[in-house]
Amino acid sequence: MADTLSFKLTSYNIRKAIGRDGKRRPEQILKVLNETHADIVVLQEADFRFNGRQAIFSAADLLDQTGFAVIDVAPDAPGLGWHGNMLLLRPHFRVTSVSPITLSGLEPRGAVISQIEIGTVQFNLIQAHLGLLPWHRRRQVQALVDEIDPMQPTILAGDLNAVGKAPSSLAPLNIHLNEVEIGPSFPTRWPCIHFDRIFHTKALRAIHSSVSDTPLARQASDHLPVSARFTFT
C-alpha cells in the first residue's frame, strides 16, 4: 500500500568533488554518499563545467562503490547530468520519464523533472540548481512552479541559493508546496546558511529530515548533504 511506503531523498552540492583543501577527491564524495543511507540522491555541480560538461564519476564506479544506479537525465548532452544535476537511485526505484529544463539567467543553470516509480505508486521529482541573483532565481522558480500539479505527489530539491527563512525569490514555491524544515548546510566550515532545500506537495509527508554533518562531509565539499524521509498521504 502507498501509505506504508517510505523513502529517503538526499540533495548534495558536491562542488565538482573539490574539497576544502582545494583538491579534487571524488572518492570522498562516494564515501559521503554511503554515509547518507539514502534511496534517492540529487547532486549539483557533478560535472566539469569547463571540460565539456563531462561527468566527474563513472556510472560503473558509482554502482560498484555506492550501490546507486545513475540515470542519464540528458542523453543528448555530454556526461551523465544536466547543467551539473545528476540523479542517483537504488535499484528498486524506476524512472518512467525524465525531462531536462534550461533555466534562464546570467549563469548556465538547469533543472530536471523525473517521474519515479516505487512499487505501485509514482511521484514527480524536480531537482535544480538555481542562480545567484534574486531576480533570475524568482524567474527560474516560476518556470518550475509552472510544471507542478499540486494534486500529484511531487518533491523539489536542490541548491536553491536563497538565504533566509522565507526568501522572496522562492515565494512562488510556497503557493503549492511545503518546505521541509532542515538545518543550515553551507559553508561546511561553519554551517549557517540554508542554500540546500527540499519542498513537497501535500500528497507526500516528510517524517524526518537531517543534515549530514560528519567529519568527512565537512571536508569533501563546501555544502553538506541534506535529507528528508517521505511517506505518501
pTM, two decimals, is 0.95
Cα separation, 84 vs 159, in Å, equals: 11
Q: pLDDT-derived band of residue 1, with 50, 70 and 90 as boundaries?
A: very low
N residues, the chain: 233
- In angstroms, rounded to a whole number, what is the distance separating the alpha carbons of residues 130 and 226? 16
- Cell digits of residue 221: 565539499
What share of the chain has pLDDT > 70, as a percent? 96
Q: Is 10 exposed, middle or buried (0-12, 13-18, 19+ CB in 10 A)?
A: buried
pLDDT tens profile 113-140:
999 999 889 999 999 999 999 999 999 9
pLDDT at 88 over 90: yes
Q: What is the pLDDT of residues 190-226, one digit of tens each?
A: 999 999 999 999 999 999 999 999 999 999 999 999 9
What are the residues facing 41 on neighbouring strands? 10, 88
For 118, other C-beta atoms within 10 Å of its C-beta total: 19
* Tens-digit pLDDT profile for residues 11-55: 999 999 999 999 999 999 999 999 999 999 999 999 886 666 678
Q: How far apart are CA 7 and CA 175, in angstroms?
A: 25
pLDDT of residue 187: 97
d(CA 75, CA 217): 30
Pairing of strands 226-232, 204-211: antiparallel
- In angstroms, the CA 30 to CA 17 distance is 10
